[in-house]
């Protein structure tokens, strides 16, 4: 008899917990990574739990479950103590893997407006048990001075039915993570995206380029007149923002019969980050030349000098087929190791394939006097 009483008391306690309108689930995160503070509540027949005054009969089990996934935006200012700037940041949620059930919210983007820190939520309604995987990321903006977070987070949510038939979150099997690291889904913070704002002047650079002409064969002739060669530049990544940091003129025309120099720029950067550009030659139509097909990938590393309160270019590296580790085009003083390198150029070499007109071999032979030919 005592055992039955205990079980009935236990069942009563569980029933009280099941009808609790809101349960909080959270995820752990390191600073700058992600965490998840997921709130969920049972709904009935696609609607929120009915009020106590409703005359409708309460069903035995909820037909759906609403899960709220918080996203937190934080802003770090440089220099520290700079005047705060309010801005709007946009996030999006998408299926995290091809085999996951893509139960997406009605609104797959989320706008957060803040000048320091604020949290808002994606709301997802689940109608059946299963494992659901999502990816959340920030969409880079174009406001000058901000570096936007280009990382993303994956969340796995396990929805199960409890003994009463209600849909609930299986907390032990619900977690968030990066591609290689996973964390339990139970802390107070949400998915934290940290942006940086640089309250200082932008930094500008110019990238020098060089065209060289060489004979196709050693000792061969060189052109007597200038040829015309076109080089182009294109930004390949978003860097710290969605601005295009390519120069106003994205092509350089060089005319030479031996060598010539030019440059792309100025190129302006408003926030710290790694910016990648592609420089290549546009093949011409002059059959006397073999055009250079090398594609140069140029990495520009911009950082913030806390001591001086300025943005600076730490290095510009030229990656290409002949230099997989990158040729330094420029290194600023203060890099580690300190290396004062003279600015070098992105080089393109064309081969001059034209040759002299083939000789008329008949002129080299002794002329034959047909009149002296013996019978």
Buried b (16+ CB within 10 A) or exposed e, 319-328: bbeeeeeebb
32 has a pLDDT exceeding 60: no
Confidence of residue 180 (pLDDT cuts 50, 70, 90): low
Q: To the nearest 10°, report the CA torsion of 36, 42, 44, 47.
A: -40
- Residue 128 CA to residue 87 CA, distance in Å, equals 38
- Tens digits of residue pLDDT in 248-270: 999 999 999 999 999 999 999 99
Question: What tens digit of pLDDT does each residue of 330-340 get?
Answer: 755 544 433 44
Q: Give the pLDDT confidence score for residue 303 in this predicted structure.
A: 94
Output the pLDDT for position 7.
42
Per-residue model confidence (pLDDT) at position 352 = 94
What pLDDT, on a 0 to 100 scale, did the predictor assign at position 174? Answer: 80
Q: Are 311 and 269 in contact, with CB atoms under 8 Å apart?
A: yes
Q: Could you report the per-residue pLDDT of 287-321, keeping only the tens digit for each?
A: 999 999 999 999 999 999 999 999 999 889 999 98
pLDDT given at position 62: 62
Residue 337, pLDDT score? 37
Quick one: pLDDT band at residue 375, thresholds 50, 70, 90?
A: very low
Q: 365 pLDDT exceeds 70?
A: no
By mean pLDDT, which of 61-70, 108-117, 349-358, 363-372 is the weakest?
363-372
Q: Which residue has the higher pLDDT, 327 or 262?
A: 262
Buried b (16+ CB within 10 A) or exposed e, 225-243: eebebebebebeebbbbeb
pTM: 0.73
Of 149, 239, 234, 233, the C-alpha closest to 202 is 239
Average pLDDT, rounded, for the chain: 79
3-state secondary structure at position 364: helix
Mean pLDDT computed over 87-101: 85
Look at residue 321 in the predicted model and tell me its pLDDT.
86
- Residues 352, 289: contact at Cβ < 8 Å? yes
Statement: residue 38 has pLDDT above 60: no
pLDDT in tens, 125-149: 999 999 899 999 999 999 999 999 9
| Residue 363 scores a pLDDT above 90 | no
Q: How many CB atoms are located within 10 Å of the residue 305 CB? A: 17
Per-residue model confidence as pLDDT tens digits over 269-291? 999 999 999 999 999 999 999 99
In this prediction, residue 25 has a pLDDT band, given cuts at 50, 70 and 90, of very low
pLDDT at 199 over 90: yes
Strands 23-26 and 47-48: unpaired
Kindly list the distances between the CA atom of residue 36 and the CA atoms of 39, 150, 153, 159, 167, in Å, as whole numbers in the listed order. Answer: 9, 18, 10, 16, 19
Confidence band for 54, pLDDT divided at 50, 70 and 90: very low
Q: Given pLDDT bands bounded at 50, 70 and 90, which one contains residue 61?
A: low
* pLDDT at position 187: 62
* More reliable by pLDDT, 82 or 363: 82
Cβ partners under 8 Å of residue 27, min gap 6: 34, 35, 36, 37, 38, 155, 175, 176, 183, 184, 185, 186, 187, 189, 190, 191
Residue 184 has what pLDDT? 65
As a whole-number percent, the residues of the chain with pLDDT over 70 amount to 71
357 vs 30, which has greater pLDDT?
A: 357
pLDDT of residue 122: 92
- Check residue 175 and give its pLDDT: 81
Answer yes or no: are the C-beta atoms of 210 and 346 closer than 8 Å. Answer: yes
Number of H helices, E strands in the chain: 2, 24
Q: Are strands 323-331 and 296-305 parallel, antiparallel or unpaired?
A: unpaired
* 274 vs 293: CA distance, rounded Å: 25
Q: Do 52 and 46 touch, CB atoms closer than 8 A?
A: no
- From the list 148, 150, 145, the residue with the least C-alpha distance to 78 is 145
Alpha helices in the chain (DSSP H): 2-18, 361-364
- Both tokens of 40, joined, read 């969920």
Answer with the residue of higher pLDDT: 352 or 360: 352
pLDDT at 366: 53
φ/ψ of residue 5, rounded to 5: -60, -45
């Amino acid at each position: 008899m005592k055992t039955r009483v205990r079980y009935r008391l236990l069942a009563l306690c569980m029933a009280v917990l099941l009808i609790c309108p809101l349960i909080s689930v959270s995820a752990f995160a390191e600073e700058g990574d992600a965490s998840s503070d997921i709130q969920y509540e049972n709904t009935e027949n696609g609607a929120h739990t009915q009020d106590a005054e409703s005359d409708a009969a309460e069903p035995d089990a909820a037909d759906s479950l609403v899960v709220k996934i918080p996203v937190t935006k934080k802003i770090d200012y440089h220099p520290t103590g700079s005047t705060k700037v309010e801005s709007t940041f946009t996030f999006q949620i998408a299926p995290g893997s091809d085999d996951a059930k893509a139960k997406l919210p009605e609104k797959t983007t989320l706008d957060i407006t803040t000048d320091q820190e604020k949290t808002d939520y994606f709301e997802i309604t689940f109608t059946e048990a299963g494992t659901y995987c999502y990816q959340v990321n920030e969409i880079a903006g174009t406001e000058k001075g901000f570096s936007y977070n280009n990382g993303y987070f994956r969340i796995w949510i396990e929805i199960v039915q409890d003994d009463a038939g209600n849909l609930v979150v299986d907390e032990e099997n619900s977690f968030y993570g990066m591609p290689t690291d996973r964390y339990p889904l139970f802390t107070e913070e949400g998915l934290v995206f940290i942006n940086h704002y640089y309250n200082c002047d932008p930094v500008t650079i110019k990238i020098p380029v060089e065209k060289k002409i060489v004979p196709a064969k050693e000792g061969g002739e060189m052109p007597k007149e200038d040829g015309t060669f076109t080089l182009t530049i294109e930004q390949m990544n978003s860097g710290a923002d969605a601005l295009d940091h390519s120069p106003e003129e994205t092509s350089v025309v060089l005319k030479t019969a031996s060598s010539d120099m030019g440059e792309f720029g100025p190129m302006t950067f408003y926030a710290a980050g790694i910016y990648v550009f592609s420089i290549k030659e546009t093949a011409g139509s002059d059959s006397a030349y073999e055009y250079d097909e090398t594609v140069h990938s140029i990495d520009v590393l911009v950082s913030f000098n806390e001591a001086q309160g300025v943005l600076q270019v730490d290095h510009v590296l030229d990656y290409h087929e002949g230099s997989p580790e990158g040729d330094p085009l420029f290194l600023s003083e203060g890099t580690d190791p300190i290396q004062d390198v003279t600015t070098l150029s992105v080089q393109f070499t064309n081969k001059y394939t034209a040759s002299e007109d083939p000789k008329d071999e008949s002129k080299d032979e002794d002329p034959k006097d047909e009149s002296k030919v013996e019978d």
